[in-house]
Chain A
Amino acid sequence: MPIISGVYEVIWDATFQLVLLGSLLIGATSGTLGAFAVLRRRSLLGDALAHAALPGVALAFLWTQSKALPILLLGATVSGVVGVLIIEAIVNYTRIKADAALGIVLSVFFGGGIVLLTHIQQSEVGNQSGLDKFLFGQAASIVRTDLYVMCIVSALVMIAVFLFFKEFKGLIFDAEFLSALGFSQRVVDLLLMGLIVLTVMVGLQAVGVILIAAMLITPAAAARFWTDRLHVMVLVSGILGALCGALGVGLSALAPRIPTGPVMVLVATAAFLISVLIAPRRGVLARWVRLRANALRENGQHFLRAYLALQTQDKEEVVLADLASELQLPLYRVRRLAKRLGRDGWVNTHNGACSLTELGHKEANFVVKSHQLWEYYLVYRSILEEDHVDRPADEVEHILTPEIIEQLELILAQEDIDVSGDIHKMGSGYRRTGKDE
């Protein structure tokens, strides 16, 4: 198996391990900070910042003629920060809105960067300056000293996140309340922006100016699906980011011609889509399953109400065909429903007819009671006229929690309203009748 042995070779290669470690760090840092950036709606500002860094890289090279990473990144940081300051100035002092200001700085700085890069390329005949790796990223160019820089910056970012977690949380959730508590919103915002700058800069070499923003945004957006707690989200986002970084580098090592940045971004996108699909509570699958369960329960409750409506004093049993016409459903669906309710121990079916078990009666009574309580409430509060109380009641009754029912009983009891009597014949809202028009 040549491919597999090839993979082994690559993995045990010392240079590759270095590169892998670097990408892992980049992914973890941008993932962690991305959670805050996304929630504070600064994700696209990160994009502008990254694009604006390009002319800085080129200018740093032109001035120093050096390709040392710290020098290039210093240039990148300066021009990136200048870009962000210009965005702020445009928004504060002119009538141009934030989105246009962002787009202007992003594209004009990038254009300036392109001019400088092409100038460098064309004036140095035959000598590739290697600056174009900053466009799409080339993780393979990470060397040992670069790794030290990355380690230091990542450690700084992580420590800051740990120390100022509370402040960032306040900033994201309710910035005005944070300032009311005596924290300067401006300072906390600046701190967060500073950390975003550091994170973007450290990832420039491996991911590139064009796509580094995705490493901030995508893992964080994916993490949001797994949890509702901020600290868990930050953790998940960091881990996802690290995984995407490592996996992206691993994949692009197999095809060295392809730049690392886009591969990492595609891996992150895949992670996002998988999260959307399978995340336990907010995920699409989980929600689909729950909707389906809800629908089944509603149908069951309609079945029970229809049963009570058809049941007569002397006869316990109700014929399924009658139920079908009462519910206006095809017979086969009513059969299936009866079977399912049978499994729940509510209904006994025999020879095309069914009867409720004791458990089934209890459930049916509960359904009818909550329906009636809700109707009484609506009419009592003069929310609805008596004659069309039924349809909305029908929508709501399935989902009234025991707490709401308790409250309803309490309210109606306080007002001394007799719930046992009939205000009108129990409705038949379970029929899927057409709209009025």
Chain B
Amino acid sequence: MDEIQNEKVEQLVNYIMKWSLWQFNSREWDREKQNEEILKKTMQILCDEPVDNGTPEARYYWSEAMILSSDFKTNFEWISQMKKTEIKKLMEDLKNRIDYLTITGSLNAELKVKRY
């Protein structure tokens, strides 16, 4: 990841950390699913792609993604200038970084507890 891309990712990470809660569900498997679904749907919304919201579960993820994508567009005007391929790469890098901070690199010893 080049420096400019890294800076953009960190800005988005910082925003999510300051304003969102969905990335901090209490178990590793739950965080994996939350990060995957919400960031995928956010990417789809930002790229004007169709988004599945047909089940209650999908609709929940979509609701979170609608808020996040709107916030990204409002707070980071440079996103609107990006091509769809660039947005997809940006969101992929963002997902990897969020996964690292909340799951793979996390110091939270409770993440691997099997029961809630």
Do the two chains belong together in a single complex? no
